[in-house]
Amino acid sequence: MKYIEFSSAKEKVSVIGAGTMRIAGFDEPTAEEFVKTALENGINFFDHADIYGGGRSEEVFGRLLAQQPQLREKMFIQSKCGIRQGFFDFSKEYILSAVDGILTRLHTDHIDSLLLHRPDALMEPEEVNEAFNELKAAGKVRHFGVSNMNRYQMDLLKSCVEEELCANQVQLSIVHTPLFDAGLNINMADNPAVMRDGGTLEYCRMNNMAIQTWSPLQVGYFAGTFLNDDRYPELNKLMDELCEKYSVGKDVIAYAWNLRYPAKMQVITGTSKPSRLADAAKAADLELTREEWYALYRAAGNRLP
């Protein structure tokens, strides 16, 4: 397993993170197998959100921690808040109450990282700063970050927020590449050249933020996986060739493609199967060549200018 330094505190977190969105229905033995498989394969990063399973994903995870508290010291636990029924909410009152709920469900006295989950158009950075400061002073949250924000939204936050923004969690896969497209098509008069995010990847690199990628196997916004999908015959053919070359599965190739970007990258897996989580760990040690990275990008239907 490879690790990156998550913050200026230089804490080591695995480049593969175990996403917990799909564990809400786990019984206790299944939850234990999931967590211990991750840890045994060097994955120490667990990504939660208060909305996953309506809070049940955190409850399942928390029951395991309550029964086996010695596991907590081996983990870096992150959760997210801000999405409510029909709206987003970054108010101080909501952030504080959301974290209290997260801690209760997880049966822990602190989380290692809290991300603001999708931008709130009514965000008041002063309130966010007050919430972050109170959470840090109380020992409830150690680090902070954002999710799905562009550089201007992050700059707006940083105009008031005193705590370091350590990470940005964004959607990225071989077939969902708007974060790359505009940068590759500068000064072109076509759709890929449209700047949709304001240079988010470059901003995160310049500010030493971890880039956490979600839905690394997905087509668009939860439109299914591209693996073995008839809509992507050229991509799957090339992935088959690389699978044979590197003796891994297609999911590992897809994760390795995200990790090849030269920044502080993390892949947040969405699998609920321990065996696939163990396979995902292999991507940490697979570095695609420059030629292979671009070949996969083109095979997914993208063109270079």
44-100: per-residue pLDDT in tens?
Answer: 999 999 999 999 999 999 999 999 999 999 999 999 999 999 999 999 999 999 999
Q: Is residue 305 one of the residues assigned to a domain? A: no
Q: Is residue 258 one of the residues assigned to a domain? A: yes
**Beta strands, E only, the chain:** 3-5, 12-14, 16-19, 45-47, 76-81, 83-84, 87-88, 111-117, 141-147, 165-171, 210-214, 265-269
Q: Is residue 213 one of the residues assigned to a domain? A: yes
**Beta strands, E only, 73-226:** 76-81, 83-84, 87-88, 111-117, 141-147, 165-171, 210-214
198: left (phi over 0), alpha (psi -120 to 50) or beta: left
Query: Binning pLDDT at 50, 70 and 90, where does residue 220 land?
Result: confident
Q: What is the mean pLDDT of the chain?
A: 97
What span, in angstroms and rounded, lies between the C-alpha atoms of 228 and 233?
8
Q: Is residue 111 one of the residues assigned to a domain? A: yes
Q: How many domains does the chain have?
A: 1
Query: Binning pLDDT at 50, 70 and 90, where does residue 198 land?
Result: confident
Q: Quick check: 227 and 189 in contact, CB under 8 A?
A: no
Q: Is residue 89 one of the residues assigned to a domain? A: yes
Domain that holds residue 249: 3-299
CATH number at residue 48: 3.20.20.100
Answer yes or no: 52 catalytic: yes
Q: Is residue 224 one of the residues assigned to a domain? A: yes
Query: Does residue 200 carry a pLDDT above 90?
Result: yes
Identify the pLDDT of residue 295. 98
Please tell me which residue in 52, 203, 232, 255 is annotated as part of the active site.
52
Query: Does residue 128 carry a pLDDT above 90?
Result: yes
Identify the pLDDT of residue 196. 86
Query: Does residue 221 carry a pLDDT above 90?
Result: no
Q: Is the pTM for the entire model greater than 0.95? A: yes
Q: Considering the chain, what percentage of its residues have pLDDT values greater than 90?
A: 94
What span, in angstroms and rounded, lies between the C-alpha atoms of 50 and 54?
7
Q: Is residue 304 one of the residues assigned to a domain? A: no
Identify the pLDDT of residue 83. 98
CA distances from 51 to 23, 75, 138, 251, 304 (A): 12, 21, 23, 26, 38
Q: Is residue 129 one of the residues assigned to a domain? A: yes
Query: Does residue 222 carry a pLDDT above 90?
Result: no
